[in-house]
Amino acid sequence: MPLIAVEGLQKSFGVPVIDDLSFAVDEGEAVGIVGPNGAGKTTLLNLIAGELAPDHGHIFYDGRDITRARPDVRAKAGIARTAQIPRPFEGLTVFENVLVGATFGTRASRRAATDRATAALELADMIGKANVPAGSLPLLDRKRLELARALATQPKILLLDEIAGGLTEAEVHELIAKIREIHAGGVTIVWIEHIVHALLAVVGRIMAMSFGRKIAEGEPREVMSSAAVREVYLGVGEA
């Protein structure tokens, strides 16, 4: 039984953004999602996380239909995500930001939430900046904070939305190592990313999207070299 499954998912904002999409992720997998801007990738994560409601279709988590479940219910059940653009509470410290996730994204007691926040900061390599105001952080640390806040909920599945975007090559390699570590610790990963070599270093399967539809799925290098993906994602047609 898949950990996450979407069946016949549809979402429209005047025009279809997710168009009869079905796919599933097994527990322990690391799956990448690629596609051009406007393909519907972030909308898909928003639907899984509960930030949007689908027009049609169903979302199943661990065998349960969560299509209409609130975002906080999904978070407490083990679904966490990072935002494409980090959105910290800038007036709070790094630790306070992560404590918010540990407190409101779980059913933990105050003491347990504090312990979870500390552990998440350590895993995200941010414990040394726990007392720094979040609004003063550079981009890499904002990304790490976003990751720590999600990890503080102790997720079963982590939805990553272009977390490598805007980073230097050295920073991307640091991030790859960290996501590998998180995945090796038992967290299922679904990762949207335009930096393809980062995905290839982590995921075991890729789904490619275009105009809200799945156009290819399978072994990462085979998907990225397929004619359909080369045409719509890389802009390369047949000779």
**pLDDT above 70 (res 129):** yes
Least confident of 71-85, 90-104, 105-119, 141-155: 105-119
Can you tell me the mean pLDDT for 23-38? Answer: 96
For domain 1-78+156-239, which CATH number applies: 3.30.300.30, 3.40.50.10680, 3.40.50.300, 1.10.1740.10? 3.40.50.300
For 62, the token pair is 């661990």
**pLDDT above 60 (res 181):** yes
**pLDDT above 60 (res 223):** yes
**pLDDT above 60 (res 236):** no
Local confidence band at 233 (pLDDT 50, 70, 90 cut-offs): low
Instruction: Report in angstroms the alpha-carbon separations of 231 from 35, 39, 235, 236.
Output: 11, 13, 5, 5
Local confidence band at 239 (pLDDT 50, 70, 90 cut-offs): very low
**Using CA atoms, how far apart are residues 132 and 227, in angstroms rounded to an integer?**
48
Local confidence band at 187 (pLDDT 50, 70, 90 cut-offs): very high
Helix or strand run (H / E) with residue 104? helix 94-104
* Predicted local confidence at residue 230, as pLDDT: 87
**Residue indicated by tokens 């789904």:** 207
Q: 97, 89 in Cβ contact below 8 A?
A: yes
* The one-letter amino acid at 211: F
**Using CA atoms, how far apart are residues 65 and 133, in angstroms rounded to an integer?**
39
Going from N- to C-terminal start, the domains of the chain cover 1-78+156-239, 84-154
**pLDDT above 60 (res 238):** no
Can you tell me the mean pLDDT for 169-185? Answer: 95
Beta strand ranges found along the chain (DSSP E)? 4-12, 16-25, 30-34, 56-61, 64-65, 79-81, 157-161, 188-192, 205-210, 213-218
Q: Tens digits of per-residue pLDDT, 36-63?
A: 989 999 999 999 999 999 999 999 999 9
**Using CA atoms, how far apart are residues 210 and 229, in angstroms rounded to an integer?**
9
Edge-to-edge strands, sheet with 157-161: 79-81, 157-161, 188-192, 30-34, 205-210, 213-218
* Predicted local confidence at residue 106, as pLDDT: 83
* Predicted local confidence at residue 235, as pLDDT: 63
Can you tell me the mean pLDDT for 122-130? Answer: 96
Diameter of the chain measured on Cα atoms = 62
pLDDT above 90: percentage of residues in the chain:
90
Can you tell me the mean pLDDT for 9-37? Answer: 96
Beta strand ranges found along 16-130 (DSSP E)? 16-25, 30-34, 56-61, 64-65, 79-81
pLDDT above 70: percentage of residues in the chain:
97
- Rounded to two decimals, the pTM is 0.93
**Using CA atoms, how far apart are residues 6 and 23, in angstroms rounded to an integer?**
6
